[in-house]
Structures are given as C-alpha cells and as structure tokens.
Amino acid sequence: MLRTIRNIFVLLLIGITASGMPIYASSINFSSIIPTIVSKNDAIIVTTEEKVISSNHVQVKYGFSADSDKSYTGLLFNENNPFTVELTSNGDTIQDLSLDDLVTLGNYKSLELYSSTPVYIIFDFDQEKLNLPDGSYKLKIKPNIDNVNVATEEAEFDIHFNTEGNYIPALPAITSVKHGETALTLYFPDNEANYLVPITRFVPYTSSPLTTTLRNLEKGPNSNLGLPLGTPIPVGGKAGKSGDTAYVNLPADLGSFNQGSSASTNAVNSLVNSLTSINGISKVQFQFNGKIIKDAFHGMTMDVPYHKPDNTMIYTAYLSDTNRFLLSPIPFSMFGNQYDDNNINTIFDTMKFKGIPEIYNSKRHPIVPNDVELLDYNIANRVLTLTFNEEFLKVYENNDHRRQMMVDGIIFTFKSLNDVDFVNIKVKVDSKDTNEQGIINYDFAPPVYINPED
C-alpha cells in the first residue's frame, strides 16, 4: 500500500514537471498552486501559474522562455496595451485596473530570453489594494507582443476573495435582555464617516431612555468594535418628549459639529436614528439653549422635526478596524434612481456585488454571494416569504457565522419595508436519492438586537 502511494506521488511530480510548473523541494503546497498552462510555438514557450497567497491575495505568474538553451529572443510588448487584463464579477467588468499597480515583478514592456529557463512577469491581485469586496471573480490575461509572431492564447483564472472577519450574530428577542436591563440601539459613524452603524448596548434598566441614549452616545462605541472612539454628538444635551416627538436641547455652541458637513450630518443622523429606535418616538425636534432656530449643524434645517427614517435600507457587512463584521444599513436611494424599491427581486439583487459595484469595496461587503438566487416570494398579512435555491444552504455550509450574517442581513433589509413585519425563509432543494425537488423551511430565531456590543 505504501509503495502504491509513493508511486502515485512520483507520477504527480512527473506530471507537474512536464507541464512546466516549478517545484520547490522544501515546500510543495498542492492546495495553493493551480496547474500550469503551457503554450509552445516556434519562438517562445509561455507558461502561466496561479498561486493563492491567502484568502484575499492571489498571484499570477506569466513566464516566457526561449524554445531551447541555444536560442535568443527579444520580446517587445505593445506600447499602449502590453497585456490585456480583464477582471469580471458575475459578468460585470471591474474598471480602472492599472498594470503599474498589478505587476510587482518583471518588465511588462520588453523581455530578453536567452534560455529555456522562464523569465516571469508577476501579477498581484490583492483584495485590499484593488479595493474589491468578497466574492468570485473571473480573470483573463493575454500578452500583446508586437515584434514576434506569437499565437498566445488568453489565460483564464478563477479568483476567490474571502475576508477573514468575526461576526457576532444579532440576538433574538427571547432571553436576550436580562432582568433589570434595557437594550439601547445606538448609531455610530463608520471609520470613513460615510454611513452609520447600529450597535446594541445593554445598560441597567432606566425609566428615562431618551436621556440615557444621549449619555451613551456621548461615551462613544466600545473599543473592541473597531469604530472611531469618542462622542459622535455634542456633549451636554438634554432630552424630553411630548407625544411621539423627542425634544433634544443642545448648547448653542456646537463646536466642531458646526464646522464640517460630514461630522454635522452624522451627528444629526446619529441622534435621530438612535432616539427614534425607542418605542413611541417617531420624530425629533432640535432646540438650542431652549429655542428652535432656523438652522445649525453647518447649515442644516432645524426649525422642523426630523422623522424616523421610513425608506428601504440595504444591510451591508462593514469590516471594522478590529476585523469585526458589523451590519450597516445604506439607504436604498444610494443605489441609484433606476431601482424600484417596491420590487423584492431588485432589493435582493442590491445585496449582491452585481447590484451596484460602487457601493461595495474591501471594507464594505455584500451579505449575499452571487450564487444564491431568490426563486420566489410572497407577501400576505405583512409576512414576507422568500424562497431561495439550494446554494443558500451550501454557500456557507462550513462557516456558520457568515451564514448567520447573511440571514440577519436579509431579515433586517426586508423588515425595513413598510409593509413587512416578519420574514419567512424557504429553500428549494434537490433530492439526490429520488431525483425530486422539494421546498423546506429554514428555521431560525428572528434577529432583533443588531451588532451586540459585548
């Protein structure tokens, strides 16, 4: 038996060597190297090799060599387009790829070949440098050589980016809040000050949730969240209510919150979103030294109440500075006027990278992989039932937390619709034993307390 295994291994090495792949005796990692492609012609031999450096870094080696050790060949690549590089996701082309950024070793303008030993040009596809989100990509590379008549074929590769981050699932309503505690939903800015991230903080029970919310916003987020520390709102405010309106009385001098549009907008939205998450509060009226004034916060209108956001929100996976994934909502309107927020299929598509590439990047990821498809849906009595293909179960079958993040994001997204209170999930599966298809219920505890702080 041992001799048989050894013989198979030797045959593997012979096969790899014959294909032109370099072998390093000290370290052979078959899981990280994809077999070489060899293209031979009268002048040169072209070899390509893809190596997975990490879950978010892939390297492609393009090798050129003379057809014998006695040959010399000089290659001049096209001045305007030395290599055609195309990277796509679900059919959408990734724009603005620069060879200067991709090529980390080798001269992609010209090469001199003196022997059969390959001279390599190395392309690095680093997820962070490319600023791309998680997902599967198709890569095509083709050299464009001007001075030698070489029939080089287009080389194709599959690239998979999968960021290693930690996700703490949203907590269900049952047993999540201990006796003597109150759950606050606090909105803090992300590290780029682009959008807000809702955080659940459990505090001792209070009969004054408005004032308690102000004081807890002033404390800023816990450091383990990886969000900007410090208060996102002016310090020292007071809060009260009349009917469903919360009144927030702030000092007239807002300091830095009156000097820049980003800090000002985030402060107002942080207060409005956090306070209207309290039961019975639907709008916020700002006051300054006890008076309602026309404008403040860098010119924002202040003489009318700010209402609880009622637009559709698309939940995304934001990667914080402590490598924690946090669900972060983005208004559906940010995805463009061409989308209809009453269309369930369109809303689902925006939760994928193919929905709108400009929203997603290496820090903000789509929660739904492209292979997951929404097959059907139904709304009845304010209950939305979604039916997915079997990839819903398979895509994260070895990563429970990522699957839970996908489920939580889907639920929070569709519950932001005005006519949806509850979401059911079903999956259409194929039976391998009977060749029949069936619909199964996907059981889960409905998420309530998003991004628990501790």
In SS3 terms, the chain reads as: CHHHHHHHHHHHHHHHHHHCCCCCCCCCCCCCEEEEEEEECCCEEEEEEEEEEECCEEEEEEEEEECCCCCCEEEEECCCCCEEEEEEECCEECCCCCHHHHEEECCCCEEEECCCCCEEEEEEEEHHHHCCCCEEEEEEEEECECCCCCCCCCEEEEEEECCCCEECCCEECCCCCCCCEEEEEEEEECCCCCCEEEEEEEEECCCCHHHHHHHHHHHCCCHHHCCCCCCCCCCCCEEEEECCEEEEEECCCCHHHHCCHHHHHHHHHHHHHHHHCCCCCCEEEEEECCECCCEECCCEECCCCEECCCCCEEEEEEECCCCEEEEEEEEHHHHCCCCCCCCHHHHHHHCCCCCCCCCCCCCEECCCCCCCCEEEEEEECCEEEEEECCHHHHCCCCCHHHHHHHHHHHHHHHHCCCCCCEEEEEEEEECCCCCCEEEEECCCCCEEECCECC
pLDDT at 436: 53
pLDDT at 432: 59
8 A C-beta contact, residue 430 and residue 437: yes
In this prediction, residues 231-255 reach a mean pLDDT of 94
Q: What are the pLDDT digits (tens) for 67-88? A: 776 677 888 999 899 999 999 9
pLDDT at 325: 98
Model confidence band, residue 39 (pLDDT cutoffs 50, 70, 90):
very low
Residues of the chain with pLDDT > 70, as a percent, come to 86
Q: Considering only 273-282, 393-402, 424-433, which range has the smallest mean pLDDT?
A: 424-433
Q: Considering only 26-35, 165-174, 254-263, which range has the smallest mean pLDDT?
A: 26-35
In this prediction, residues 301-311 reach a mean pLDDT of 92
Cα dihedral sign for 40, 44, 48, 49? positive
**Whole-angstrom Cα distance, residue 28 to residue 19?**
16
Neighbours of 430 (CB within 10 A): 11
- The ranges assigned to domains in the chain are 32-161, 168-307, 313-449
Residue 162: closest CA among 304, 317, 375: 317
8 A C-beta contact, residue 251 and residue 244: no
8 A C-beta contact, residue 322 and residue 283: no
Model confidence band, residue 402 (pLDDT cutoffs 50, 70, 90):
very high
In this prediction, residues 32-54 reach a mean pLDDT of 67
Model confidence band, residue 152 (pLDDT cutoffs 50, 70, 90):
confident
Residue 187 has pLDDT above 90, yes or no: yes
Rg (CA), the chain: 28
pLDDT at 146: 87
* Between residues 435 and 253, the one the model is more confident about: 253
79: left (phi over 0), alpha (psi -120 to 50) or beta: alpha
Cα dihedral sign for 310, 315, 321, 325? positive
In this prediction, residues 79-108 reach a mean pLDDT of 88
pLDDT at 116: 84
Which class would CATH give 32-161?
mainly beta
Q: Which two tokens stand for residue 266?
A: 């985030």
Residue 173 has pLDDT above 90, yes or no: no
Model confidence band, residue 5 (pLDDT cutoffs 50, 70, 90):
very low
Q: Considering only 145-149, 226-230, 326-330, which range has the smallest mean pLDDT?
A: 145-149
**Whole-angstrom Cα distance, residue 247 to residue 289?**
12
pLDDT at 434: 45
The whole-chain average pLDDT of the chain stands at 85
Model confidence band, residue 26 (pLDDT cutoffs 50, 70, 90):
very low
